[in-house]
């Protein structure tokens, strides 16, 4: 059985690999995001997909919020290139390489597209730059800025592959970042994934879904139909939509919970077994004067450990939520 190996480490980065024995004409190079658990657990971003699909993955894991710009990144990139070489040599076909990252890692997947000879990039909610002098705006990652990051934005000559940026258009900051990258870098496609939040990957997770995205981006195809199909069967996506529903159209929540899609994906059960969302939704309905709908929702709760505390808090006033 193929195991994850730590191939390289310095003060700024780990390089870890999952390289099966059989030849492959696709390699994924991944980059971790902010405060990534992979720093501590010996894995890399995308390791579950790598194992499920049994395809070569090489992960660069940043030890800090360095935006992959700190001293030592060139050595890490050189190690990735060293690991790619024998995979290419063993394959009789052209080996295609896909960059893959989230947030800070999404930025790096774009930034190092040329250095690592990517054929395509899948970038989840990337940040264009956290250098205020460069952008004229602050974002939720601006606090990580260090002087060595000055002028950090990806440049056109660094990006030689089609880049697919997946982002939530309802997240104002992610929308701005995606659009700025698109406006400043050639060959960028912004792919909207509504209500996915900054952690876009959660609503697209699964090896079958990742394989479909790989096939699409390597063919330079339209990923919108693929995303739509993935999300139609994603419990995470439907759950996000249920949460959004009770915030924007609370009177439709009970109907949404009883929809075929919510029931078949398990999103209905996940919503109703949450210790927070049913109470918040019921409180909002009561505030809006829809007490009957609120109690219809509460009657759907079958776990007394959840129902009793919610009823108790509602009796003391919806404002408690």
Got the DSSP string for 76-96?
A: HHHHHHHHHHHHHHH-SSPPE
The whole-model pTM stands at: 0.84
Burial class (CB in 10 A: 0-12, 13-18, 19+), 202: middle
Rounded to whole angstroms, the Cα distance separating 150 from 145 reads: 9
Strands 5-9 and 13-18: antiparallel
pLDDT tens by residue, the chain, 321 residues: 689 999 999 999 999 999 999 889 999 999 999 999 999 999 999 999 999 999 999 999 999 999 999 989 999 999 999 999 999 999 888 999 999 999 999 999 999 999 999 999 999 999 999 999 999 999 999 999 999 999 999 999 999 999 999 999 999 999 999 999 999 999 999 999 988 888 888 878 889 999 999 999 999 999 999 998 888 878 888 888 898 888 889 899 999 999 998 999 899 999 998 878 888 888 888 888 888 888 888 888 877 676 767 666 666 665 555
* Domains of the chain with CATH codes: 5-232 (3.40.50.1820), 235-320 (no CATH)
Rounded-to-5 percentages of helix, strand, coil across the chain:
50, 15, 35
The pLDDT value given to residue 3? 92
The pLDDT value given to residue 129? 98
């Amino acid at each position: 059985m193929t195991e994850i190996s730590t191939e390289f480490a310095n003060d700024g980065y780990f390089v870890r690999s999952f390289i099966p024995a059989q030849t492959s004409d696709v390699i994924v190079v991944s980059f971790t995001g902010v405060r990534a658990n992979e720093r501590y657990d010996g894995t890399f971003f995308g390791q579950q997909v790598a194992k499920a699909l049994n395809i070569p993955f090489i992960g660069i894991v940043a030890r800090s919020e360095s935006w992959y710009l700190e001293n030592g990144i060139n050595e890490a990139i050189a190690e990735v290139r060293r690991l790619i070489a024998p995979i290419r040599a063993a394959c009789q076909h052209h080996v295609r390489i896909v960059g893959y990252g989230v947030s800070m890692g999404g930025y790096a997947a774009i930034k190092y597209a040329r250095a690592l000879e990517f054929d395509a990039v899948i970038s989840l909610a990337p940040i264009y730059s956290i250098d205020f002098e460069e952008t004229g705006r602050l974002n939720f990652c601006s606090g990580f800025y260090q002087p060595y990051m000055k002028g950090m934005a990806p440049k056109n000559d660094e990006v030689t592959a089609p880049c697919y940026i997946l982002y939530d258009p309802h997240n104002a900051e992610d929308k701005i970042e995606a659009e700025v990258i698109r406006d400043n870098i050639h060959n960028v496609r912004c792919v909207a994934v509504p209500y996915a939040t900054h952690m876009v990957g959660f609503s697209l997770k699964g090896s079958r879904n990742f394989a479909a995205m790989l096939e699409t981006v390597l063919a330079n195809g339209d990923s919108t139909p693929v995303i739509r199909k993935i999300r139609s069967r994603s419990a995470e996506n439907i759950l996000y939509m249920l949460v959004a529903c009770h915030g924007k159209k609370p009177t439709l929540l009970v109907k949404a919970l009883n929809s075929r899609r919510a029931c078949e994906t398990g999103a209905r059960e996940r919503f109703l077994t949450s210790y927070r969302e049913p109470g918040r939704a019921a409180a909002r309905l009561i505030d809006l004067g829809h007490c009957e709908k609120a109690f219809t929702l509460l009657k759907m709760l079958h776990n007394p450990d959840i129902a009793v505390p919610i009823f108790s808090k509602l009796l003391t006033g919806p404002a408690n939520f």
